[in-house]
């Protein structure tokens, strides 16, 4: 797959209730979702032929759509089954799935009351989000200039396409400096999240993570918190200020794409991937591995 544009991959995509050839899964240039960001999506991982936390992801897709005033014309069960069928049709066991819903091209303008809500599901092979050899050494993060907006300015709990504009800008800027990703603060200057992952820190055996009051409470984040608590680790969800990073010992990020990835550096702050990060990397790997 390396080097092949995503619109030129092989296989089929589930598109409004039927499978179409990959290259024919197209939208018109005047699609509302392209011009006005009226689009919501999910990122899901399949391991050993099973999609991890599938229904939670589908339910969040429906919640996100509702936040944008969109009614998905299928049930949660129907989308779950469509995801499974897409994975099977692609002949993949370990893969990434991207369900997406968007407003169509029936009306062009800010108002689009009559536009069809389209749904598609694509599936492809996708290895580790970060270099596997570098992962356990800890990735390096920049600190983004852009901040997560206030909840009264955006539908911050939706996984909506428009909310990722500043994430793309932040990640591009970080990569240009040689970093793997960027940490974003929120509109108040508090530690928030990375461009596509939640963040955790440790100190004296206690895990600390920002309160997701203006950004996504990730499904992987919830899984890792449960895994930590199962081990008897204390997890504190609270406000974290940037200067506190000087005193934290370990840091790791979580997400469907990132899974659990240790961090060695955030701007001027340094961390050493240690026993807590390693334990949760191992526990998450077991949790997503069927039969493990």
Active site residues: 159
- 145, 173 in Cβ contact below 8 A? yes
Name the pairing type of β-strands 181-186 and 139-148. parallel
- Give CA separation, 193 vs 25, 200, 258, in Å: 32, 9, 13
């Amino acid at each position: 797959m390396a080097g092949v544009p995503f619109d030129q991959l092989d296989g089929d995509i589930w598109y409004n209730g039927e499978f179409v050839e990959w290259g024919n899964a197209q939208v018109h240039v005047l699609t509302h979702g392209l011009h006005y960001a009226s689009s919501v999506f999910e990122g899901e991982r399949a391991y050993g032929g099973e999609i991890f936390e599938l229904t939670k992801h589908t339910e969040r897709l429906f919640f996100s759509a509702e936040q944008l005033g969109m009614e998905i014309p299928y049930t949660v069960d129907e989308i779950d089954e469509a995801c499974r069928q897409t994975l099977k049709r692609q002949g993949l066991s370990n893969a990434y799935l991207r369900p997406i819903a968007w407003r169509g091209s029936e009306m062009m303008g800010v108002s689009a009351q009559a536009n069809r809500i389209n749904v598609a599901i694509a599936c492809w092979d996708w290895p580790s989000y970060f270099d596997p050899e570098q992962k356990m050494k800890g990735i390096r993060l920049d600190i983004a200039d852009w901040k997560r907006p206030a909840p009264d300015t955006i539908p911050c709990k939706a996984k909506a396409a428009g909310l990722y504009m500043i994430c793309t800008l932040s990640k591009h800027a970080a990569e240009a400096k040689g970093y793997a990703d960027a940490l974003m603060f929120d509109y108040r200057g508090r530690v928030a999240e990375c461009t596509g992952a939640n963040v955790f820190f440790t100190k004296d055996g206690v895990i600390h993570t920002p309160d997701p009051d203006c950004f996504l409470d990730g499904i992987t984040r919830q899984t890792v918190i449960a895994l930590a608590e199962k081990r008897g680790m204390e997890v504190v969800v609270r406000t974290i200020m940037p200067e506190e990073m000087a005193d934290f010992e370990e840091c790791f990020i979580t997400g469907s794409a990132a899974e659990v990835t240790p961090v060695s550096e955030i701007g001027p702050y340094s961390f050493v991937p240690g026993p807590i990060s390693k334990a949760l990397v191992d526990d998450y790997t077991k949790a997503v591995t069927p039969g493990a």
